[in-house]
Chains A and B, each alone.
Chain A
């Protein structure tokens, strides 16, 4: 990579101050501009200015409704509570997976990503099988806030485990051990040594979980029932049911305002948190648990993960294996063995292939863009970088139906009509995946020890060579974490993709929706079998990404 000659004047940071950093931002900005800002601005303008002139009477009336305030308040507190609960489950999980070597660790690390890809209608069925009518646990929690919170923890634990765990696995454990040797208690050593280093990653993960739960939709409808509505649900009702664009636009803007505030808070916290440190290979950091306390901690955390993540997944597999004739593989053999039953039936092999191809394209789009954006955010601190960072996060926090409708009203004007092109599907996936890639990469990129760069520069390495030798190996690991999320986001087909018009290229989630559209024990069993296949594909993909990551460590 050729850098400006002024690189030597800033040995601490080869890219700082270079016009190149701005150039790096061009591609991500162009992508966001075309596929996010332009569509969303078009539909919002259409809602707020129905006759081409801004008309604020309808928006003000919407904001004055008492239920708008109630919905906004509920949206906020459930998101905060969901985020905190997810951290409570995810942080111990990240800790044991990063620090300890125990049997099944690698599989567990891959399995935490599985909930992330499951369609809400499937997760809804799994939760209702456990805590719904005639639930296996004998406890009715459907249509309560607890079902919503549990489902949010179920979905988002992966974000905390993988984003925080990604950094934690590479923190040098000797720093904390030194503190212990010097007499600090285990808690004090963690609080004063590890926590400050970990904070950027925790904030990163928490911000994603917050955005994700703030815009929760399917979980709220299916598990919350009539009593609960987020702003996202209100936007959906206004746009997709009532076709009340002024109300939809107003509510979407309200959602964006909340997000802007939360992103400012995030930027403040993150600025104080950034610290560089020495990273080590994950293999060095992980060891077997020693002593009763460590084994107990690992055991309790595993039980917690099994309850929160394992039970719903097990309920799904149970449904997939159950048939009127008892347990067996009937649903799988009929799913794969059947000749086309109708145009709505999707051959599973075709669905798997479509899903994989879309996921690969979405990853191929979002990974380079995310790395470029991550580099800009890392090397150019300050207000501009913060604004850029916030802009990248917005697609995750913007109403999916607004993005979908925005595509419709804006992308028809382009030279190529993308609105009914299959390519729009992975583009929409990439839009949602981009924040995950950035959030997974930035904490690792920020933590790169400047002294390594200085040493390289002093020893005569050019800035480009410095970047290649010092930054790239770490960026590579970050990229793999980001890529695994981008891949999963696309496999799971959530967010805006549910609201874009799509040509026939059915993916695994679409196949599941279609199987669930008619009654019949066979149809339901096959849908659950398809969901199990989706889980397996995800787990295999996650294992593959993790394998790449561990083999790549150390070659630095």
Chain B
């Protein structure tokens, strides 16, 4: 065999061997010194199933690990909807002990599939009742955020105000200005669709489908995901597009300030605080968990003051415990909807697929030229 090829194959084999023997990809630097462990013996591995965008500070996580002589293995399974579906598919042989990140738009699907064990978490009394959606406590609310229309401040002025309500978006003044995400492929897109259902209803003179027809008449742009909407279509902040209105989060202005260098004194984007849909994220102990006791301790930990205080700047959502101190940049730039729209999770579960199809059939006519 030719020398270079032999070298190549030998190198590949070596790297493969090295990887298999543990010097390969680091399984996140979450391992912790077992010296602080209260119980002797090797640490227990707790598997946490979550979605792609959950973030927790390493040092906060390390507190849990040392307090419980555990290592937390974080396993990610796509977006929130995909994660719930995968948890349901593996119900008889669960992937993990604890799940974090199921939200109210997918909650009922998970509850119907009976994949969680009820647990009354320590400290859940401090969480407002409006967030505690399951009477049987199979899920524990950890955080919430509002999906709202954001606007490019530079596009509006005194004689030309930004929209105030959802209904304003169908006015000629805002023609060709709004970009939204496809509710079939995007979580904020789904939330915005649900907001329109909650606001305009399914019956009466003017239904949510009438609203979407009017949005189309007003030349709404529909793209597949948040990245395309915000970065490529939206004109404000870090967006490079030509539309000054976008469906995003009430906390997006915080990120616009926090993730800029140097940080501006004011956010380049604003939030329309009417017609926001509230997403609530829950954690739950998976039925059939290998370490149910540790899983319950982890749910408690998610409501602990340190982790709750970590949430705003990690995940850009509000912590569920209202007494948590918010970081200054967060409290200054985050908007919060005064009267957020919601729908009962049972209604969402029963109707979501039908709404998506109805929206899609309207969507074929919504096709952008």
Chain A interfacial positions (CB closer than 8 Å to B): 121, 124-125, 128-129, 132-134, 143, 221-222, 225-227, 237, 239-244, 323-324, 330, 334, 340, 342-344, 350, 353-354, 357-358, 360-361, 363-365, 367, 405, 408-409, 412-413, 419-420, 422-423, 426, 468, 472-473, 476, 479-480, 483, 498-499, 501-505, 513-514, 516-524, 548, 551-552, 555-556
**How far, in angstroms, from A483 to B241 measured CA to CA in the complex?**
40
- The residue in chain A whose Cβ has the minimal distance to the Cβ of B353 is A242
- Is B52 within 8 A of A504, CB to CB? no
Cα distance, A468 to B1, chains bound together (Å): 7
Interface with A: B4-12, B279-287, B336-344, which one?
Answer: B4-12
Name the one of A221, A222, A422, A518 contacting B259, with C-beta atoms under 8 angstroms. Answer: A518
User: Which of the residues B5, B109, B237, B243 comes within 8 Å of A548, measured between beta carbons?
Assistant: B5
The A interface is mostly helix, strand or loop, or mixed, namely helix
Q: Can you list, as one digit per residue, whether each of B1-38 has a CB less than 8 Å from chain A (1) or not (0)?
A: 11111011101110110111000111110100000000
Q: Is there contact, CB below 8 Å, between B26 and A505?
A: yes
Q: B261 near A: Cβ within 8 Å?
A: yes
The answer on a CB contact under 8 Å between B27 and A476 is: no
Counting from the closest, the 10 A-B pairs by CB-CB distance are A520-B259, A504-B28, A505-B25, A344-B55, A133-B241, A360-B15, A128-B232, A221-B224, A364-B16, A364-B12
Q: How far is the CA of A354 from the CA of B75 in the complex (A)?
A: 16
Query: Would you give the 0/1 interface string for B76-92, flagging 1 where the beta carbon is closer than 8 Å to chain A?
Result: 11100110011011100
A419 to B89, CA, bound (A): 13
Chain B proximity of A305: nearest CB distance (Å): 25
Asked if A524 and B27 sit within 8 Å, CB to CB, the answer is no
When chains A and B are docked, how far (Å) is the Cα of A501 from the Cα of B76? Answer: 6
Name the A residues within 8 Å of B76 (CB-CB): 501-504
Contact A226 B4 (CB under 8 A): no
- Alpha-carbon distance A539/B248, docked complex (angstroms): 36
Beyond A124-B232, A412-B95, A520-B238, 7 additional contacts (C-beta under 8 Å) are A121-B227, A225-B182, A240-B78, A361-B16, A423-B20, A503-B73, A524-B238
CA distance A518 to B20 in the complex (A): 34
Q: Please report the C-alpha to C-alpha distance between residue A522 and residue B262 in the assembled complex, in whole angstroms.
A: 9
Q: What separation, in Å, do the CA atoms of A350 and B27 have in the docked complex?
A: 11
> Separation in Å of the B257 CB from the closest CB of chain A?
8
Residue numbers in B under 8 Å from A124 (CB-CB): 227-228, 232
List residues of chain A with CB within 8 A of the CB of B252: 519
A-contacting residues, B161-194, CB 8 Å: 182, 184-185
Given contacts A342-B55, A357-B19, A405-B86, contact A519 B73 (CB under 8 A): no
User: In the complex the two chains form, is A422's CB within 8 Å of B27's CB?
Assistant: yes
With a cutoff of 8 Å between Cβ atoms, the chain A residues found around residue B56 in the complex are 343
Cα distance A243–B255 when bound, in Å?
33
- The interface on chain B, measured as residues whose beta carbon lies within 8 A of the other chain's beta carbons, has a size of 90
Least CB distance from B217 to A in Å reads: 16
CB <8 Å contact, B224 and A241: no
* A487 and chain B: residue at smallest CB distance: B12
On whether the beta carbons of B89 and A128 are closer than 8 Å, the reply is no
Q: How far is the CB of B239 from chain A (nearest CB, A)?
A: 8
Instruction: Say yes or no for B61: interface residue by CB 8 A criterion.
Output: yes
Proximity bits, B240-257, A CB within 8 Å = 1, else 0: 111100001000100110
Q: Given the complex of chains A and B, what is the CA–CA distance between A422 and B16 in angstroms?
A: 13
Closest-by-CB residue of B relative to A350 is B26
Tell me which residues across on chain B come within 8 A of A408, comparing CB atoms: 86, 89-90, 95
Interface residues of chain B: helix, strand, loop or mixed (majority): mixed
Q: Which of A134, A350, A501, A556 contacts B75 (CB 8 A)?
A: A501
- Chain B residue nearest to A70 in the complex (CB): B364
B198 at the interface (CB under 8 A from A): no
Question: Which residues of A sit under 8 angstroms from B11, Cβ to Cβ?
Answer: 360
Chain B nearest CB, measured from A377 CB (Å): 21
Check: B58 CB closer than 8 A to any chain A CB.
yes
Q: List 13 A-B contacts (CB under 8 A).
A: A129-B232, A226-B366, A241-B185, A241-B356, A242-B353, A342-B313, A358-B25, A405-B89, A412-B90, A420-B95, A480-B5, A520-B237, A548-B8
CA distance A237 to B190 in the complex (A): 13
Does B222 have its Cβ within 8 Å of any Cβ on chain A? yes
Give chain A residues whose Cβ lies under 8 Å from the Cβ of B12.
Answer: 360, 363-364, 367, 483
Closest approach, in angstroms, between the C-beta of B83 and any C-beta of chain A?
A: 9
Residue of B109, B242, B248 near A133 (CB, 8 A) is B242
- Contact of A240 with B26 at beta-carbon distance under 8 Å, contacts A342-B55, A412-B90, A518-B255 already known: no
Q: Is B16 touching A360 in the complex (CB atoms < 8 A)?
A: yes
- B15–A361 contact, CB under 8 A? yes
- How many Å lie between the Cα of A367 and that of B16 in the bound state? 13
Q: Does B363 contact A (CB under 8 A)?
A: yes
Q: Is the CB of A522 within 8 A of B74?
A: no
Contact call A134/B242, Cβ cutoff below 8 A: yes
Give the Cβ gap from A44 to chain B, nearest Cβ, in Å: 13
Query: Does B43 sit within 8 A of A, measured CB to CB?
Result: no
B81-107 interface code vs A (CB 8 A; 1 in, 0 out)? 110011011100101100000000000
Quick one: which of A226, A413, A426 has the most chain B CB within 10 A?
A226
Which A residues are CB-close (under 8 A) to B367?
143, 225-227
Measured CB to CB, the nearest residue on chain A to B109 is: A243
B368 on interface, CB distance cutoff 8 Å: yes
**B57 contact set on A, CB distance < 8 A:** 342-343
**In the complex, A295→B353 CA distance in Å?**
59
Residues of B within 8 A of A476 (CB): 1-2, 5
Q: In whole angstroms, how far apart are the Cα atoms of A413 and B11 in the complex?
A: 33
Which chain B residue shows the least CB distance to A504? B28
Q: Which residues of A contact B54 (CB under 8 A)?
A: 344
The residues of B that contact A548 with a CB separation of less than 8 Å are 4-5, 7-8
Q: Give the docked Cα–Cα distance between A41 and B2 (Å).
A: 41
Residue of A nearest to B55 (CB): A344
Q: How far does the alpha carbon of A216 sit from the alpha carbon of B255 in the complex, in Å?
A: 32
Shortest CB-to-CB span from B314 to chain A, Å, is: 5
Q: Complex: how many Å from CA A342 to CA B82?
A: 24
Chain A CB count within 10 A is highest, among B7, B16, B86, for: B86
B292 close to A (CB within 8 Å): no
Given contacts A502-B75, A505-B27, contact A342 B15 (CB under 8 A): no
B74 with A503: CB separation less than 8 A = yes
Is residue B126 within 8 Å, beta carbon to beta carbon, of the partner chain? Answer: no
Contact flag A519-B89 (CB < 8 Å), given A121-B225, A225-B222: no
